[in-house]
Structure 1
Amino acid sequence: MKMRWTSVVWSVVYLLLLLSLLTPLSIVTVFFLILPATILFATLNVRSFLLHVLPVWLIAFIVHPVYLLLAMYFMVPSIVMGWSYKRKNSALRTLLIGSGTVLAEMLVLLLIGTLFLHFDLSGYVHDIVKMTMSPLKDVGGNNPLISDMVWTPEKMQIVSDMTMQMIPFAMIISSFMMGVITHSLARPIIESTGYHVPKLKPAREWMLPKSLIWYYLIGVVIEVFARGSHNSFLIMIAANLVPLLHICFMIQAIGFFYFLAYSKKWHPAIPLVIVIPILLFPPMRIIGILDLAFPLRQYMTKSKR
């Protein structure tokens, strides 16, 4: 009985999240949309899963047919992650295949829109930038003290081009965030129903591949050449590869401080406090680079004679 009513509750949550997609709340709720279906698929057999999901889809279709299309779109990563939980795959594998599925869907949707629906992503981005910057343009034009900050069409085009270059980065980060949020909430919820779900390694054990150092060096070289180049492909690689690697090094730095706190038996709150400056002060990612490049953990914990 508990399991059945819990499933009904998650079905209702799933419906409410779907209905929020055409509202301003979608900016937040979209990151939680694959959570309810993931939990339902992981804890129910296929028949029970369909009995919970199909009524939600029917109601969503009655409200507006576009909700059904959105539901089908977000159902794919939900099934992939739920299936991975059923297979007892490692948490990292589940997280990566879930995030990868979301990213693949984004790319496929963009490809279909471009080839068959004649969707112009560049023009769309330019319109959004123009709409966003118009109030600033009006303020600058009416205030002589900030006349140098007037948003001319040329400046808007530059911002538009920079935004276009960062779209791959935004797609990767957003898909990864959806995977992280879903796993962080789904794992303890599924565990509470009696199903065992592997969890991520403790932060102190996080260790990224050392090859990231070489990728970073390559990215820096590409970034140097891209500054004086008009090759849009080269510029896009530089604009996306290096920031992604910076995030990896920040994650590595966080893992290092958790390892240090565990080894030195610090209070558990200390590494949590250290995470804040790492996130707010990006140059601290150098700790992550050093941790990958050198045996920093062994050196910091080596007993002194």
Structure 2
Amino acid sequence: MKFRLATVAWSVIYLLLLLTLLTPLKIITVFLLIVPGAVLFSSLHFKGFLIHVMPALLILALLDVYSLLLAIYFLIPSMLMGRIYKRGGSSFQALMTGMGVILAEFLVVLLIATYSFGFDLSQYLRDQAAITENIVQQILSANPMLSGTNWTAEDTQQLGTMLIGRVPYVLIVTSFLLAVITHALVRPALSSLDVPVRKMKPAREWRLPRALIWYYLLAIVIEWIASSSNGSWIQMVSISMLPLVHACFTIQTIGFVYFWMHSRKMSSVIALLLSLVVLIVPPLRIIGIIDLAFPLREAITRSKK
């Protein structure tokens, strides 16, 4: 946990990544922005962490205060993931924490934008669909070969609905991707700094907290509230929360499949094929719900004895 050349190098890397927020490169480097903070928080005491990151943040603040807000946005998951690494938590816990925090931040930003600045994401996406309609109409009009093709108002409405429906998927996948990239880079970096990081548990040991059942019930209640509300934010929370909980149940189901195959001493290839079936057939996540709510694995173990 001492100051060393490697941690100073990571603070320099952090500064360089922050400076790319002022350039078009931020489209790429934003996916790496959590990494330096997580490495520094894991390998240093909190005071040392502040000494390393504060100069970089101050330099960015002098150049562009709006980019500073983005830097702070990504510093929060850095610190929370780094805290898990420092305390010897599992890699799976770090991944799920990072993903959950990033997704929660997305929703908080949407809340602030909705109620402080009057931003309506649903209307924005519908406006984008209307802009797409105008572009398509111009292309169809300019090309005689496509003169028989029409883009109707119904097509525009369907496109807007599709865009709104894809928002939860995009948020979840983006959060997961950021967490995975961070973990993949932080783990070898911490190993080089002599900070031990636990390996990912085998799939048969994947078990999520039983409290997820209560989150599922909460998501259902929020969906019920959102159905009778015109608020853009509460609707976005609803359509984002349920897919996230469903994804967790799918992970739990895959963990159970691997546990079941392992208990029967069957090939992991079969477990992999069954896991693909779970991904293709979403209703099978009910197995994960049962596995969380009841001691299903213990029952299988006892039956073998």
TM (normalized to structure 2)? 0.68
1:284/1:89 Cα in 2 relative to 1: closer, same or farther (>3 Å)? Answer: closer
Task: Quote the Cα distance in structure 1 between the aligned partners of 2:249 and 2:98.
Answer: 22
Asked if 2 retains the 8 angstrom alpha-carbon contact of 1:165 and 1:236, the reply is no
Alignment of 1:127-276 (within 5 A): 127-132=127-132, 134-139=134-139, 143-144=146-147, 146-147=149-150, 150-152=151-153, 154-161=154-161, 163-164=163-164, 167=167, 170-208=170-208, 209=210, 212=213, 215=216, 239-240=239-240, 243-265=243-265, 271-272=271-272, 275=275
Q: Could you report, residue by residue, the CA deviation over 1:254-290 in whole angstroms, capped at 9, with x for unpaired residues?
A: 2234324534555656645665565456566576567
Q: Could you report, residue by residue, the CA deviation over 1:100-147 in whole angstroms, capped at 9, with x for unpaired residues?
A: 433443333333333443434344333433445554444566525643
CA root-mean-square deviation: 4.7
Task: Quote the Cα distance in structure 2 between the aligned partners of 1:61 and 1:237.
Answer: 31
The answer for the alignment partner of 1:66 in structure 2 is: 66
1:196/1:125 Cα in 2 relative to 1: closer, same or farther (>3 Å)? Answer: same
Q: Could you report, residue by residue, the CA deviation over 1:79-115 in whole angstroms, capped at 9, with x for unpaired residues?
A: 2322333344455554454444334433333333334
1:296/1:134 Cα in 2 relative to 1: closer, same or farther (>3 Å)? Answer: farther
Task: Quote the Cα distance in structure 1 between the aligned partners of 2:133 and 2:7.
Answer: 45
Cα deviation for residue 75 of structure 1 reads 1.5
Asked if 1 retains the 8 angstrom alpha-carbon contact of 2:3 and 2:44, the reply is no
Cα deviation for residue 196 of structure 1 reads 3.1
Task: Quote the Cα distance in structure 2 between the aligned partners of 1:83 and 1:48.
Answer: 14
Q: Could you report, residue by residue, the CA deviation over 1:20-73 in whole angstroms, capped at 9, with x for unpaired residues?
A: 446565455433321210111110233432343234334434654433232122
The answer for the alignment partner of 1:6 in structure 2 is: 6
> What is the percent sequence identity of the aligned residues?
44
The answer for the alignment partner of 1:113 in structure 2 is: 113
1:292/1:54 Cα in 2 relative to 1: closer, same or farther (>3 Å)? Answer: closer
Cα deviation for residue 173 of structure 1 reads 5.0
1:29/1:272 Cα in 2 relative to 1: closer, same or farther (>3 Å)? Answer: farther
SS of equivalent residue, structure 1 residue 18: helix
Task: Quote the Cα distance in structure 1 between the aligned partners of 2:100 and 2:14.
Answer: 22
Asked if 2 retains the 8 angstrom alpha-carbon contact of 1:91 and 1:199, the reply is yes
The answer for the alignment partner of 2:41 in structure 1 is: 41
TM (normalized to structure 1)? 0.68
1:151/1:181 Cα in 2 relative to 1: closer, same or farther (>3 Å)? Answer: farther
Question: Which amino acid counterpart does residue 7 of structure 1 have in structure 2?
Answer: T
Cα deviation for residue 180 of structure 1 reads 4.3
The answer for the alignment partner of 1:53 in structure 2 is: 53
Stretch moving more, 36-45 or 232-241? 232-241
SS of equivalent residue, structure 1 residue 110: helix
Q: Could you report, residue by residue, the CA deviation over 1:179-231 in whole angstroms, capped at 9, with x for unpaired residues?
A: 44434543453244222344553211224549759959x96xx89xx9xx886
Asked if 1 retains the 8 angstrom alpha-carbon contact of 2:213 and 2:293, the reply is no
Question: Which amino acid counterpart does residue 69 of structure 1 have in structure 2?
Answer: L
1:151/1:265 Cα in 2 relative to 1: closer, same or farther (>3 Å)? Answer: farther
What runs of 5+ residues in structure 1 fail to find an aligned partner? none
Cα deviation for residue 300 of structure 1 reads 7.9
1:55/1:214 Cα in 2 relative to 1: closer, same or farther (>3 Å)? Answer: closer
Task: Quote the Cα distance in structure 1 between the aligned partners of 2:40 and 2:303.
Answer: 50
1:113/1:293 Cα in 2 relative to 1: closer, same or farther (>3 Å)? Answer: closer
Task: Quote the Cα distance in structure 1 between the aligned partners of 2:287 and 2:258.
Answer: 12
Question: Which amino acid counterpart does residue 160 of structure 1 have in structure 2?
Answer: G
Alignment of 1:68-107 (within 5 A): 68-89=68-89, 91=91, 94-107=94-107
1:100/1:292 Cα in 2 relative to 1: closer, same or farther (>3 Å)? Answer: closer
Question: Which amino acid counterpart does residue 73 of structure 1 have in structure 2?
Answer: Y
Question: Which amino acid counterpart does residue 46 of structure 1 have in structure 2?
Answer: F
Task: Quote the Cα distance in structure 1 between the aligned partners of 2:292 and 2:248.
Answer: 11
